[in-house]
Amino acid sequence: MSRLLAPLVALGAYALIYLVSLFLLARDPGFAAEEYLAVLLIFGLGFSLAAWLSTIGIKAAPVPVREPGKEFGLVMVFLLLFAIGFLGWGLSALKAATSAEQPQEVLTLMAKLAVMVAIPAWLFRRLGYRWRELFGSFRFDAGSVRVLIIMALLLLAMQLLIGQGGKRVAALDEPVWIIALMALPALLWMSLEAGLTEEFLFRGLLQTRAAAFFRSELAAIVLMAVIFGLVHAPGYVLRGAHAMEGMGSAPSVLTAMAYTIVVVSPIGLMFGVLWARTRNLWLLVLLHGWTDLLPNLAPFIRTWLP
């Protein structure tokens, strides 16, 4: 596929998938197209543009891909098994193993780190990759710090303006100093549970191999965003994640898939642009943890404070 054709096909396919997803969601009596389109405009377009602009002048770190076809196929097979075996059954089994919140959270974190980081890293180590080639270096030069600050401030402003996380934090009974003190371990937790696991698997492995295989960064960003969205679907169907999003009941499989395309994949586009422009895994890990901090801070405090 030519370098011009690949991104055009990817964008066209994404537009079609997005429109079909909107059509499926429109069957719900409470459908509000403006809310879903706002997510696309804010994350898919606005924050992706901000990511591109904030990374001007940054030279992306080299990330080697030795056998693009073989490695892309390996990652796709792994993701299929991951979606069915781990997201479809494994996390549900962990949730059923204990009703106590703290052990449940620890087990979930350990399982995610094992399945989404340790096992795929071991597989690629078997292919001859060094640790540094897989995870990069923890480098934060002036450009990386600039990107971190700009994107973090934009994300925080957006969440304070239209998100519910700030309202949930404000409703807590704990004093401000305790909330501020708990924010640091919460950020660390989110950076490990969501940041490291998802950024390594979806951006570090999938997007990098897709870019090498299709010879197009844009095609890789779009493909990764679609897959990144779809793998969240089992959580809405099987593990009650729909309750956190305000849904009245667990959705059908098709509705869950459509919802993740419309709501989750635009966020994947933003992180995909950041990865394509920087190839800095740890920058994305921190930004991903920061993105999840405010929406999850109140539940984190309720879980861990005695």
pLDDT at 6 over 80: no
Which of the residue ranges 5-19, 24-38, 213-227, 263-277 would you say has the lowest mean pLDDT? 24-38
> pLDDT tier at 249 (50, 70, 90 boundaries)?
low
Is the predicted pLDDT of residue 250 greater than 80, yes or no? no
Q: Is residue 244 over pLDDT 80? A: no
For residue 134, give Cα distances in angstroms to 56, 99, 129, 197, 286.
24, 36, 7, 13, 17
Q: What is the pLDDT of residue 239?
A: 57
Inform me whether the pLDDT recorded for 290 exceeds 70: yes
Amino acid letter, residue 105: E
Which position has the token pair 């719900």? 28
Whole-angstrom distance, CA of residue 59 vs CA of residue 154 = 22
Q: Which residue has the higher pLDDT, 241 or 75?
A: 75
pLDDT of 252 reads 83
Identify the pLDDT of residue 247.
Answer: 53
CA distances from 56 to 26, 50, 141, 150, 269 (A): 39, 10, 14, 12, 17
Give tens-digit pLDDT for 68-113: 999 999 999 999 999 888 987 888 888 888 888 899 999 999 999 9
The answer, yes or no, to whether residue 267 has pLDDT greater than 90, is yes
Instruction: Please name the residue ranges forming H helices in 191-231.
Output: 197-198, 208-214, 217-230
Interval 151-160: pLDDT, tens: 999 999 999 9
Q: How far, in whole angstroms, is CA 18 from its chain's centroid? A: 18
pLDDT for res 99: 81
Instruction: Determine whether 14 is exposed, middle or buried from the number of CB atoms within 10 Å of its CB (0-12, 13-18, 19+).
Output: buried
Q: What is the pLDDT of residue 301?
A: 96
* Measured distance CA(306)–CA(152) in Å, rounded: 30
- Count of structural domains within the chain: 1
DSSP 8-class letter at 203? I
pLDDT of 243 > 80? The answer is no
pLDDT at 306: 75
Average pLDDT of the chain is: 91
Q: Which two tokens stand for residue 198?
A: 């998802």
Domain enclosing residue 202, as ranges: 5-304
| Cβ count near 217 (within 10 Å) | 22
Tens of pLDDT, residues 10-35: 899 999 999 999 999 988 877 788 88
